[in-house]
Chain A
Amino acid sequence: MRSRLRGQIQQLLAFASLIAIVVFFSVANDRFLTWANVTGILLAATVTGLLALGTTFVIITGGIDLSIGTGMTLSAVMTGVFLTYLGLPLWLGVILAILFGGLLGLINGVNVAVLKIPPFIATLAMMLVAAGLSLVISGTAPIYFKETPDFVRLATGSLIPGIRFPNGVLIFIIVAIIAGVVLKKTLLGRYTFSIGSNEEATELSGVNVTKWKIAIYTFAGLFTGLAGVLLASRLSSAQPALGMGYELEAIAAVVIGGTSLQGGKGSIVGTVIGALIMAVLTNGLRIMSIPQEWQSVAVGAVILIAVYLDILRRKNA
């Protein structure tokens, strides 16, 4: 009983810090709490947020995925290949691009679970491969979506009549709910926690850890694919040189959200809050005309504080 309460308090703390930051910026600058700015923050949180959702699963197993940033780029380039080069219908091209992200995850999963390459190395290699392939396939030039003008509306259009609420944010909310349900309510989620908590014991309990690890990395890859699609839609183009660095922002969001890099602990709600904290910080500092260099310093400091607070909590637990 006590432990469940404690878990809720942890989540409340993260949420309270988010509220505190929002209140701070609202008071400091009256342009912060406008509808346009808020949806802007949400849209900015979408891409890193999607990457963070997938990575949450990988990190709870005790692994790490460095390939999500450039994997996202490669998925965006593949969206261009499917829609512009091959002229496939919009829906098919999008689905194929998402599945392509899954394929990248599958390869990561096989490297980690079957070949036993440490996750850091396996996904570092994939990060470089994906970065290179993006440039090779696109010929180092952006791909524009001339054949499918509607593609742009996927992220920035608004389905809800009368309100300017970007579809990208709507998609993020839906996907986050799906991720939360999968993590809490399905076998994949249960084994994600189990493997991160004690991999050997999970194996001894008769669970096929190799198979499930591959499944988890593949599942995480689908989020990378979707992030690539939404990024391309938001920018109305597939930018082959973008993407490096996104993986660290996503991992930072996961960590701020209270997911342990040691594995076994974490939540989707935490990751969403983490992604929002990152987006609010960046946006708020920019609105207050703090130079970009200092924004980076602030985000770094926030990561240190968040993780140290987590260590303190654990010690007292």
Chain B
Amino acid sequence: MTPATTTKTALLHLSGVSKGFPGVQALDDVRLELRHGEVLAVVGENGAGKSTLMKLLAGIYTPDAGTFRLNGEEFSIEGPRHAQELGIAIIHQEFNLMPDLTVAQNIFIGREPRSGGVFLDDRALNRSAQELFDRLGLTIDPAERVEHLTVARQQMVEIAKALSFNAKVLIMDEPTAALNDAEVEVLFELIQRFRTPDTGVIYISHRMDELARISDRITVLRDGRYIDTLETATSTVGEVISLMVGRTITGEQRPGQVQRSPDVVLSVAGLSTKKLLKNVGFELHRGEILGFAGLMGAGRTELARAIVGADPIESGRITVDGREVQIGNPAEAARLGIGYLSEDRKRLGVVLEQDVATNIVLSTLPAFTSKVGFMRDGAIIRTARDFIGRLRIKTPSANQLVKNLSGGNQQKVVIAKWLAKDCDILIFDEPTRGIDVGAKDEIYALLEELARQGKSIIMISSELPEVLRMSHRIAVMCEGRLNAVLDNAEATQEIVMDYATRFSAEGTVS
């Protein structure tokens, strides 16, 4: 390293960072510069590579390529502990606390004060935690067990833990997702206290209004690539959003103007849940593909789960084919013809260790049982072969284990399972997640064909191009509310993104 290159050294500087996983290039030649004393926001759509980048900095992943510099000095991160020692503190999106330990025990895990070298000194531990909280202006009992704290307070404990390392770089991944307005204020105050000429903050968030308040500059990532960095003061929300979405969808890729059937097969009104959903209402027509767009945590999966009775509903009405129904569990939903295809296909969609035929008939097994209780294997195989042909499932035979199939074909097996059950309303949650590009088109074609045959489809997807390409109408959710239902013709990525980031002004006090 020549001294001439470091006229104005950044606090943290990354360049040429790449990281691939089987089937995806999560980061491709990404750079990032965090200056001393600044709050740098990092934004991007779901899957833009933000979380991967953070995990590299946390020492959880090792990069395939790239240079990391701290105050101009090149370094590599050997593991989570090393990252802490380097002064990089990370607050992960999913909580990393031990619920059975106390607040103080959590904060000082791995650095417990001991008296006489052997015994833990819990009094000193609690005292240190109390001093830390006093310094940060937090009122939390250090001796309280973490499992008894609200989510917001757990978040505060996470932040206090990160700050207790005397970190130089603080990285926060969607820190306000679980906080109400007052708590967000406390958080911002914490950030301001942390910010000194020696330190810097990387702040990942989707909330445009927050970025304007807290950040100095905004770096945009898209599809694992570095796009641009803007000065917050001189840029508009629209600019940032258009950098985030980037691609435009051409007209031919959109679904043709469909004559929407007037029959409403599913109608949801005033649906609320204790946790998240607020007064959601929409109608699904026969033969329609209704796309659900929104950011992570917007409540789309929660909505699907509430409809099929997997989670309890607090209030609201669900009508199927004009009849009001009470759905207590997914089995009852299936009897009414509503199938939910989970985003977690491997865990909740298929039985990996069983063969294709068994999976297809799994939820209709009683129909394939003879009067004396034996399985009618011949009928099972015939039905399975029928679906393998109709859905063009690529498998050497109906007896192949599902785990040996590609992601796309596993998804088709799940679809076959629900079709075998005669479901007319299919709710797809991220139908193409983990499926490679070629196979995606096949799934798209299949969904379109199902819609043409009169099936009604709800498609939850975090990929905007996918939503725009497939959906006849697009419902946009944010914070558990349904912000808009757009006709495909009037929807653009920018408009959808705008609705998806319209957070309620008053926050969510629970």
B462 in the interface (beta carbon within 8 A): no
B84 in the interface (beta carbon within 8 A): yes
Given contacts A187-B120, A200-B96, A201-B96, whether A194 and B112 have CB atoms under 8 Å apart is no
- List residues of chain B with CB within 8 A of the CB of A198: 96-99
- List residues of chain B with CB within 8 A of the CB of A2: 148
> Which residues of A come within 8 Å of B, CB atoms?
1-4, 181, 184-187, 189-190, 193-194, 196-198, 200-207, 264-265
What does the 1/0 interface line of B60-99 toward A look like (CB < 8 Å)?
1000000000000000000111001000000010011111
B14 in the interface (beta carbon within 8 A): no
A190 near B105 with CB under 8 A, answer: yes
- List residues of chain B with CB within 8 A of the CB of A203: 80
Closest residue of A by beta carbon distance from B141:
A1
Given contacts A1-B144, A3-B148, whether A205 and B80 have CB atoms under 8 Å apart is yes
B336 in the interface (beta carbon within 8 A): no
Closest residue of B by beta carbon distance from A208:
B81
- List residues of chain B with CB within 8 A of the CB of A189: 120
Given contacts A2-B148, A206-B80, whether A187 and B98 have CB atoms under 8 Å apart is no
CA distance A265 to B119 in the complex (A): 20
Tell me which of A1, A186, A206, A265 contacts B120 (CB under 8 A): A186
B212 in the interface (beta carbon within 8 A): no
A201 near B145 with CB under 8 A, answer: no
B3 in the interface (beta carbon within 8 A): no
Given contacts A194-B109, A202-B109, whether A186 and B98 have CB atoms under 8 Å apart is no
Taking the nearest CB of chain A, how far is it from the CB of B121, in angstroms?
9
A206 near B100 with CB under 8 A, answer: no
A264 near B98 with CB under 8 A, answer: yes
> Which residues of B come within 8 Å of A, CB atoms?
58, 60, 79-81, 84, 92, 95-101, 105, 109-110, 112, 114, 118-120, 122, 141, 143-145, 147-148
CA distance A200 to B98 in the complex (A): 9
CA distance A181 to B119 in the complex (A): 9
B58 near A201 with CB under 8 A, answer: no
Given contacts A193-B100, A200-B96, A206-B110, whether A185 and B120 have CB atoms under 8 Å apart is yes
A194 near B98 with CB under 8 A, answer: yes
B112 near A187 with CB under 8 A, answer: yes
The 9 closest A-B pairs by CB, nearest first: A206-B81, A197-B98, A264-B100, A197-B100, A201-B96, A205-B109, A206-B110, A198-B98, A207-B110
Given contacts A3-B145, A3-B148, A207-B110, whether A196 and B81 have CB atoms under 8 Å apart is no
- List residues of chain B with CB within 8 A of the CB of A200: 96
- List residues of chain A with CB within 8 A of the CB of B95: 201
B98 near A202 with CB under 8 A, answer: yes
- List residues of chain A with CB within 8 A of the CB of B119: 181, 185-186
- List residues of chain A with CB within 8 A of the CB of B100: 193, 196-197, 264-265
Closest residue of A by beta carbon distance from B146:
A197
CA distance A232 to B119 in the complex (A): 33
Sampled A-B contacts (14; CB under 8 Å): A3-B144, A186-B119, A187-B112, A189-B120, A193-B98, A193-B100, A197-B98, A197-B100, A202-B98, A204-B58, A204-B60, A205-B109, A206-B79, A207-B109
Given contacts A194-B101, A201-B96, whether A187 and B109 have CB atoms under 8 Å apart is no
Taking the nearest CB of chain B, how far is it from the CB of A41, in angstroms?
32
Taking the nearest CB of chain A, how far is it from the CB of B86, in angstroms?
12
- List residues of chain B with CB within 8 A of the CB of A193: 98, 100-101
Among B97, B99, B100, B112, residue most surrounded by chain A Cβ atoms (within 10 Å): B100
- List residues of chain A with CB within 8 A of the CB of B84: 206
CA distance A203 to B79 in the complex (A): 10
